[in-house]
Structure 1
Amino acid sequence: MELHVTQHEIKDGVGLLRLNRPERGNSWTHRMNAEYKEIIESFERDPAVRVIVVTGAGRAFCVGADFRALEHHQDSKKDYIQASAELEMATPGHGIHPEFDHELIWHWGLSKPVIAAINGACAGIAVALAAFCDLRFAAAGAKITTSTARLGLPAEYGLSWILPRLIGLAPAVDILLTGRVVPAEEMHALGFLHGVLPREDFEQQVLARAREMAAAVSPIAVKTMKRQIYAEQLHLMPGAAIEKSRELTAQLLKHPDCREGVAAMKDKRVASFLPLSATQ
């Protein structure tokens, strides 16, 4: 697919995806969604990529849905859900769990960690996108808003489910029902963000963390833990989680990465872990 509204690059084990409509605040469109999925799927297949970083070009991360797209759907005679389903798109993260085969939650089906680098304004669907990433960092002073209460729309793309689980019910109700603008510093205090970093060189700071992660952790261990963490959010059975973890431990004890990790720790050196293969 020819890319018009995104950019990507791979360096030092990190796949960087940049939403690239800076003149419109990187506002979200069906085209951007298609390109986003295409790039993420390519990162997922590439053993050279161990960590994925998503950010925005210019001053904004993503200001939400493009207003022209909203107006199109308002005026269109086509059903919104049917019109969206007509578009052919890649399906990264699918086939792992039925609940993950939906918009944005498919991030949980990926085998690699995804870091949202919120470099500026983050609104609407962009808040949901970040919420379904694994780690979230924001630039100091970045403004975050779910916004839909002020547009006459519901909590979108699963925010009514994921936001209470990330920050608690009471703060999520406040943020969703008021649609107010929340500074990054408050979202960090609530637990939505893993850190707020200085705006100067923000992208490079996040990439440095991603490179460190890519170099230090076992890809097969990260893949396995992602599957554990997110699948176990869908049930209330801690005993089942313990027994599943015992099964997975038995499997990974025999994996070369475990032997290498133990040896590296004993030798006080950096481990050299294997890349993920298509068979893992």
Structure 2
Amino acid sequence: MADSESAVLAEVSDGIMTITLNRPDHGNAWNGPMVRGYFNLLEQASRSPEVRAIIVTGAGKAFCVGGDGAKLQAVAQTGDIKSAADQPYWFPLSIGKPIIAAINGACFGIGLQQALVSDIRIASADAKFSTAYARRGLVAEMGMSWLLPRLVGTGHATDLLLSARLVRAAEAERMGLVNKVVPASDLMAEARAYAAMLVENCSPFAMRAIKQQSFEDLTRRFHDSFEHSVKLLDEAFLAPDFKEGMASWQERRPPQFPALPPELALIAHDHSAS
């Protein structure tokens, strides 16, 4: 088995791919095999008609404690900062299917950044968070200074980035860093229930469009966003998913939405808008 395969595991069931970061003896520290394996699985999920929602979690007691210590030490000594990833670290934002981060423990540095580029964050009561960078002599990396203020506001974001202090799950929920906190024993069941709700009730086409729309509208002016939504709505009214959504609602039955076609697997974000 290749290193990238053993560093990240995947299981598909009932329309959900569950991806597990699998270096529990190292706190699921981020390294080359892990990032390549994770991003490859995300792309597989995006292209598979059998997958409509994705869950990512960590093996053992951590979600991801950040960058691998040995790699960071080598960078400190040599200055070699070559990326281990074939894709940009915001790659999850280009996946045309919803990604739910089931945060089971320590979520630090690049682990937090990957949680932020997921769409929904459900945390165990045991979870804890830190940006980590300022305490390692680093800056806010991989878009963190863009992502955090939009999620928790500038005051909380500046606090978390400057202090790199430890934030427990309850505080993370209060500031909006995570969507929900549940007991540790309920975490995966809660994440699967949320994913199943999306699989059973929501149009893959609509979820993809909303995911792209929500991200790109963060930097659009309101009137531009409004006009863009009118264009998208006109297109959606003519699409088969709208007809099925209305028919299933009127007939009081579960919808039978088609799978996302392969050509829509990845979102090509409009960089002029973002």
Given the alignment of the two structures, is residue 233 of structure 1 paired with residue 218 of structure 2, yes or no? yes
Q: Which amino acid aligns with 1:245?
A: S
Counterpart in the other structure of 1:145? 130
Q: Deviations over 1:43-96 (max 9, x none)?
A: 011011111111000111011111101011122253x1xx22xx573x4xxxxx
TM-score by length of 2: 0.92
Letter aligned with residue 268 of structure 1: R
Q: Which runs of 5+ in 1 are unaligned?
A: 92-101
What residue number does 1:214 align with? 199
Q: Confirm or deny that 1:256 pairs with 2:256.
A: no
**Is the 1:141–1:185 Cα contact (8 Å) retained in structure 2?**
no
How many Å separate the matches in 1 of 2:132 and 2:55? 24
Measured after TM superposition, the shift of residue 165 of structure 1 is 0.8
C-alpha distance in 1 between matches for 2:217 and 2:186: 36
Quote the offset at 1:34 in angstroms: 0.8
Q: Does 2:13 correspond to 1:28?
A: no
Determine the C-alpha separation between the residues in 2 that align with 1:88 and 1:131.
18
Q: Which residue of 2 aligns with 1:183?
A: 168
Task: Look up the match of 2:184.
Answer: 199
The DSSP-based 3-state class of the residue aligned with 2:121 is strand
* Structural mapping, 1:1-280, within 5 Å: 2=2, 3-76=5-78, 78=80, 80=81, 83-84=82-83, 89=86, 91=87, 102-103=88-89, 105-235=90-220, 237-280=221-264
| Change beyond 3 A, Cα 1:88–1:113 | closer
Q: Which amino acid counterpart does residue 75 of structure 2 have in structure 1?
A: H
Distance 1:215 1:71, change over 3 A: same
- 1:198-219 Cα distance to aligned partner (Å, 9 max, x none): 1113112211211121111000
* 8 Å CA contact retained: 2:39, 2:91: no
Instruction: Describe the SS at the equivalent of 2:49.
Output: coil
Percent of residue pairs bearing the same amino acid type? 37
Counterparts of 1:227 and 1:114, CA distance in 2:
13
TM-align CA RMSD? 1.4
Distance 2:117 2:150 in 1: 11
Larger RCO of the pair (alpha carbons < 8 Å, separation 6+): 2
Paired with 1:88 and 1:207, the residues of 2 have a C-alpha distance of 28
1:248 CA drift (Å) = 1.1
Aligned pair count reads: 262
Gaps of 5+ in 2: 265-274
SS at match of 1:251: helix
2:269 corresponds to which residue?
none
Per-residue CA distance 1:201-239 (angstroms, 9 max, x = gap): 31122112111211110000011111111111122x111
Distance 1:264 1:228 in 2: 25
Q: Is the 8 A contact 2:122 2:187 kept in 1?
A: no
Aligned residue type for 2:226: I
Distance 1:223 1:118 in 2: 23
Return the offset for 1:178: 0.9
| Structure 2: distance between partners of 1:65 and 1:279 | 33
